[in-house]
Amino acid sequence: MSHPRERRAHLSRRDFLRRGAGAAVALPSMSAILAACSKPGTTGSGGGGTGSTGERVLARPDNPVTLPMTREPIPTDTPIEGGTLRVYNWDAYFYKKVLREFEDEYGVTVEWTTFNNMEEGIQKLAAGQIEADVFFPTTDYIGRLVEADLVQPLNHELIPNLEANYWPVFSDPGPFYDLGWRYSVPYVIYTTGVSYRRDRVDDAAAAQAGYDLFFDPAFQDAVSYYDSYRDAIGMMLLRNGDTDVNSDDPAAITAAKDAILQMIDQNDARLTINGTYAKLPEGEFTVSQAWSGDIVGAKWYLPRGTAEDVLGYWYPPDKKGLVGNDTIVITNGPSPRLAHEFVNWMLDEHYGYINFTQYNGYQPPMTSIVPERLVDEGIVPESLSAAVLGEENFTLGYLQGELSAEADGLWLDAWSEIQAGG
Amino acid sequence: MASGTGAATRRSRRGRSSESARSGVRYPGWYWPSFTLPGVLWLVLFFLLPFYVVVSLAFGTVDPLFRLPLPVYQPWWWSFDTFATTLEKFYAGDRIYLDPLIRTLLYVGTASLICLVLGYAIAYYTARRAGKWKGPILVLLISPFWISYLMRIYAWQSLLQPDGYINDAIGVFGVASTVWIGEPITVILGLVYGYIPFMILPLFGFLDRIDQNLLEAGRDLGAGSLQTFRRVTLPLSKPGILAGLVIVSLPMFGDYYTNDLLGSTQTSIYGNLIDDAVGQAGQGPEAGSLVLILIVIVMIPMLYYLRATRRSTGMT
């Protein structure tokens, strides 16, 4: 009798995902149980599976990937569907007015379903629990979504705003994880730096300390760090002088883990997700690890009467820090043409700008958005100008990509130890 | 004993037959057993099947693409590698799961004891001394359930902020402002706050049913109030104490949101380990393994409870 790991290698990808994720997410239905009890490889694949479990090339900035075309994009003359467009996005990542105006323009309904983390989003999408037309994944999932045949190639003729409004560095030849933007377009960009209260920390001191600000004993009980293993360990790798933010070196990962544990032990640092955008402006924390979009959006959480310039943000002045972007893809929903219209809508200069400035806080990589404009228009206080990105961030910064299973295991083991309290 | 039980059963059957004969109704053999069907179905659908899924997850694997948990339902294909690795984290290497386990036992034990002491006093007063206020007090005791537990803990989170009302209140007495969130005592009191109604209600049920004549008999035989309590009330309420302890401690073992909202990584408890593993891609089998290990741990107080209640009800 073969070991199940060998047998499962004969399963198609779709079959794998449907059975596994479906059972894991919810109480199993009887049909799921019965399907799962059948001999692996004998149940229908559901179509569309690639059947491949071979080693995939991991995309890296120095090893960019052109994703295979799983089919032809929809023709340009495809009629725009009516009815409902189903959008699957992170919670609180849309300005609703942008959606409402799209509804008015096209005479359709936008049904927005949210997820709280990427694992949840992928599980529900792969299991078929969520039927979506448009999905907002992180970049490390793009290749896998293509391999699982859960997304469809884009017709760029239907998304003219990509070339018209977005940074040249992003348009040609495209990002390392999807050269030519075959399946994805950029949604927002961000850096990961150190935010602080300027009424308690001097700018010069923050600039001198950099990442070491988290270790300053003056901020006992007032430090927060993201409850997100890639960002937490990634930043500590940089602090330790290791620039491979996708490291599979056990010694480097252990050193980063030890540094985080030291920070927690020394300053009673908290792992949170809302530390930057909510707790720092409220005054609970003095120093917080920060995505640039979080600190830009933090002004909405300041107590009444508190000046916006109380918030500060440090990012390496040479731009050699963590940088990333989220994307939009079109899934296999029933309205692919309407989905193209929606993607183009989100990349529109006006709607991208108000989505960023009036609610989201996360910047789209548009040529029209420059720090001077944002400061002049009062969108971002001068003290947060470092939180506004330029094209050079993507040529100088360190981008996180998908990890191999082995490397991911090392990162997760380190993270488990941190979460267990060391 | 066996023959005595058999005789009792025979008497019981004869009694039922004569009762049926008297009423003129005869029931087929399957009639009474069929009443257990809903309970059996409930157990199968909502306990055995989900439990089997957890076992299949623990001994299963992950999808190599998205690293989602992939349950293996066929026992002959189960792999015990992840379970063994998870178990090792309690006693080998850095023993990263040992501290949260010890913390859990400590927090749950302390919180259960506080629940018992406070809950017993409240239940005793309500059952024996409240008089006409018994009804209103019971309503007040269950009133916290009108508000979601999560919302109540959020409220405490706000009250316990460095600039919250708790620090304001103790500041009146000259006590320096304290950082409450993230402290073990805060997590323990959070557990007490969340679960104490589950201790009070069963205790009240038992104390309220104690026959007044037994207490009077104790006093007639010369026992004082304290001695009557110690020799009569306390032993008679022992099943209620055990039931209350089981009812509050079992969910505490799986609780994670109290520490999520009031604690920190340095107060991580067992439920947090499971929650963290569930939320990370590739950690599904580890989450399942942690659940199975927890089940073995909570079986110990459960078995003691079953043994104690069997003894107290005269069952063997």
Helix axes A30-37, A13-25, angle to 10 degrees: 140
Cβ of B70 and A20 within 8 Å? yes
**Tokens representing B192?**
């007490």
Superfamily of domain A84-187+326-379 in the CATH hierarchy: Periplasmic binding protein-like II (3.40.190.10)
Contact B70 A283 (CB under 8 A): no
Closest to B96 (Cβ–Cβ): which among A144, A147, A416? A416
Helix (H, G, I), strand (E, B) or coil at A342: helix
Secondary structure (DSSP) of A354-375 = HHIIIII-PBP-BTT--HHHHH
* Of A163, A110, A164, residue with least CA distance to A132: A110
**CB–CB of B186/B261 below 8 Å?**
no
pLDDT of residue A2: 37
Within 8 A of A28 by CB-CB distance, chain B residues are 49-50, 53
Whether A84 shows a pLDDT value over 90: the answer reads yes
Closest by Cα among A163, A102, A107 to A134: A102
In the structure encoding, which two tokens stand for residue A300, read together? 């909405």
Query: Which ipTM value was assigned to this complex?
Result: 0.80
Residue B179 inside a domain? The answer is: yes
Average pLDDT of B229-251?
A: 92
8 Å CB contact of B179 and A268: yes
Confidence of residue B174 (pLDDT cuts 50, 70, 90): confident
Q: Report how far residue B54's alpha carbon sits from residue B177's, in angstroms, rounded to the nearest whole number.
A: 45
Chain A partners of B89 at a C-beta cutoff of 8 Å? 416
In chain A, residues 255-274 whose CB comes closer than 8 Å to chain B: 264-265, 268, 270-271
Q: Does the distance separating the beta carbons of B65 and A144 come in below 8 Å?
A: yes
List the end-to-end C-alpha distance of chain A, in Å, as a whole number: 41
* B38 belongs to a structural domain: no
Percent of chain A with pLDDT over 90: 70
User: Is A214:A223 a contact under the CB 8 Å cutoff?
Assistant: yes
Rg over CA atoms, chain B: 25
Facing A417 at nearest CB: one of B56, B67, B96:
B96
B280's CB contacts (< 8 A; 6+ apart) are: A119, A229, A412, A415
Buried b (16+ CB within 10 A) or exposed e, A207-226: eebbbebbbbeebebbbbbb
Q: Which residues pair with A12 in a beta bridge?
A: none
Cα distance between residue B22 and residue A77, in whole Å:
85
Burial code of B216-229, b = ≥16 C-beta within 10 A, e = fewer? eebeeeebeeeebb
Q: What is the CATH number of domain A190-322+400-419?
A: 3.40.190.10
The β-bridge relationship of strands A134-135 and A84-90 is parallel
Instruction: Tell me what the mean pLDDT of segment B266-294 comes to.
Output: 93
* pLDDT score of A55: 67
CATH number at residue B285: 1.10.3720.10
* CA distances to A151, B165, B166, B168 from B174, in Å: 63, 14, 13, 10
A331 φ, ψ to 5°?
-90, -165
Q: What is the CA radius of gyration of chain A?
A: 22
The answer for residues whose C-beta is within 8 angstroms of residue B276's C-beta and 6 or more apart is A416, A419, B283
List the beta bridge partners of residue A325.
A189
Kindly determine whether residue A23 and residue B53, on different chains, have CB atoms separated by under 8 Å.
yes
Residue for token pair 């949210």? A114
Asked whether the predicted pLDDT for residue B7 surpasses 50, the reply is no
Residue linked to tokens 């316990």: B160
DSSP A166: B
Cross-chain residue pair A117–B279, CB shorter than 8 Å: yes
Q: What is the DSSP string of A149-212?
A: T-B----GGG-HHHHHHB-HHHHSS--TTSGGGSSEEEEEEEEEEEEEETTTS-HHHHHHHGGG
The answer as to whether B286 is a domain residue is yes
B40 or A16, which is more confident?
B40
Q: Which of A153-157, A312-316, B89-93 comes out lowest in average pLDDT?
A: B89-93
Query: pLDDT by residue (tens digit) across B113-164?
Result: 999 999 999 999 999 888 889 999 989 988 888 888 888 988 998 899 888 8
CB nearest to B66's CB, from A4, A144, A229: A144
In DSSP terms, which residues pair with A135 in a beta bridge?
A88, A329
Q: Is A100 on the interface with B (CB under 8 A)?
A: no
Tell me if B73 is assigned to some domain: no
In a domain, residue B236? The reply is yes
Q: Where does residue A256 rank: exposed (0-12), middle (13-18), buried (19+ CB within 10 A)?
A: buried
Would residue B252 count as lying in a domain? yes
Q: How many domains does chain B divide into?
A: 1
In the block, tokens 């269950």 appear at B142
Whether B293 has a pLDDT exceeding 70, the answer reads: yes
User: Residue B3 — pLDDT band, cuts 50, 70, 90?
Assistant: very low
Q: Does A250 sit behind a cis peptide bond, omega within 30 degrees of 0 on the bond before it?
A: no
B231 pLDDT exceeds 80? yes
pTM greater than the 0.80 cutoff: yes
The answer to whether B97 touches B89, Cβ cutoff 8 Å, is yes
Per-residue model confidence (pLDDT) at position A266: 93
Residue B36 covered by a domain = no
CA distance readout (Å), A227 to A116, A411, B21: 13, 13, 71
Residues A276 and A269: their CA atoms lie apart, in Å, by 13
For residue B48, tell me if it sits in a domain.
Answer: no
Residue B67's pLDDT is what?
Answer: 87
Residue B65 and residue A148 in contact, taking contact as beta carbons nearer than 8 Å = yes
- Closest approach of chain B CAs to the CA of A352, in angstroms? 30
Amino acid at A154: L
pLDDT tens, residue by residue, B42-80:
999 999 999 999 999 999 999 888 888 899 999 999 999
- Give the structural domain span for B135: 96-312
Round to the nearest angstrom and report the end-to-end CA distance of chain B: 9
Helix (H) or strand (E) holding B12: helix B2-23
The mean per-residue pLDDT over the stretch A9-31 comes to 43
Chain segment A258-280, per-residue pLDDT in tens: 999 999 999 999 999 889 999 99
> Hey, where are the domains in chain A?
84-187+326-379, 190-322+400-419
Of the candidates B79, B267, B280, the beta carbon closest to that of A412 is on: B280
- The residue type at B113: L
Closest CA to A207 of A386, A382, A370: A386
Shortest CA distance from A409: residue in chain B = B282
Q: How confident is the model at residue B21 (pLDDT cuts 50, 70, 90)?
A: low
